[in-house]
Amino acid sequence: MERFRVVGGTSLRGEVSVVGAKNSALKLMAGALLAVGRTRLTNVPAILDVTIMAELLRRLGCVVDYDATSGVVEIDVPDRIGHRADYELVRALRASICVLGPLVARCGEAHVAIPGGDAIGSRGLDLHISGLETLGASVHVTHGYLIAAAPNGLHGGEIRLDFPSVGATENVLMAAVLAKGVTRVTNAAREPEIVDIAQFLAKMGATIEGAGSSVIEVQGVSALTPVSHQVVPDRIAAGTWAFAAATTEGDVEVVGGVAGHMGAALDLLTEAGSDVVLTERGFRVTGTGRRAAFDVATLPYPGFPTDLQPFALTYNAVAQGSAMVTENLFEARFRTVQELARLGADTRMDGHHVMLHGVRRLSGAPVEASDIRSGAALVIAGLVADGITTVSKAHHVDRGYAGFDEALRGLGADVTREPDEAPYI
């Protein structure tokens, strides 16, 4: 176990690069199961979750070559693959549930352990289950496993999601491409990662219309072929650096960031006083002086993403004025609040709302990450705190960011890693 040691008082300045989206790369790796042969993915982030997914695919019978330095993953899928994803790996990676759709489509059955991952609240699998049942699979839970079976294959159907769940949309999409007939998904998730997966599947030979809208239509095909595909840039990592620049009163160019994928977040930062400009390589955020606080509520895309909510908390903790942050998607995603309070933030929590009254500076103290984004947000909070802040459970951050501390040092921050049992100084 390691922790981050953060010395406060830094305004981040310079440039930082973002690569492929974690939330797309993992699903594309699962999607490779749909085609026999060698699929090649580029622009893959060098993060722990990719390593875990690679091992999961190996356990299913694939040969996986992962070069973290070049960002290339090659997956050789055999004619016959396994259908059981064991708890040993699944418990560490929520995204592992995305093998469910491809396995049912390819094998006619899937045994996938109920996944673990970030401690941000319940994320039910009801939408995944009902979607697959509409496609003709029988699904039940036993002994901690989600068991799906479609011995006669899948067929198309009309699926309306009660909520535009990204995971359920992905699983249904990857199952429907090999189903007989037409599948129509309404109230589908609209995230750029959904579009990326649809483009990947279309390259493989799938027929998909409407990805990026609330209605997606899939014409099933009998087989797909392996392809080479570049992962879409990570909008959450890009948003992290945008908030880091604004929070620390810095000036950061986010190379590789796609501003069009983060309209809600960048609009809020602009309205609150930060300068956001497009560049030839991405976009640049400048947070000169203390900016205004802003109210924000998380919503499905294209609304403000829940993954950036911890950064909105940190920003508002030191902004001018008061703000309300509302979490509409995950009930346990306010664990960051109690850690910010340890750093001296003035917060009041009521259900899924948090009121923050901005203070000029936070005060360094030991805190603990509960998930990927909370860990990164707490490191940024340490940059605007007097003295030293330590953020325990650095492994959470490693699951979503490649070389997070190294990138911060490149922007002028004094952030290092040390054993988690080291004394706090």
Helix (H, G, I), strand (E, B) or coil at 63: strand
96: tokens are 């592992």
Separation of CA 337 from chain center: 20
Residues forming beta bridges with residue 272, ordered by sequence position: none
Separation CA 336–CA 248 (nearest Å): 18
Q: Are 181 and 154 in contact (CB under 8 A)?
A: no
Is 118 labeled as catalytic in the residue annotation? yes
Matching residue, tokens 């930060």: 274
Cis check for the bond before 423: say yes or no (omega within 30 of 0). no
Separation of CA 103 from chain center: 22
Q: Are 323 and 316 in contact (CB under 8 A)?
A: yes
Q: How many Cβ atoms sit within 10 Å of the Cβ of residue 348?
A: 13
Helix (H, G, I), strand (E, B) or coil at 43: coil
- 118, 196, 234, 251: the catalytic one is 118
* Torsion (CA) 81, 84, 86, 90 in degrees, nearest 10: 80
* Catalytic positions, written as ranges: 118
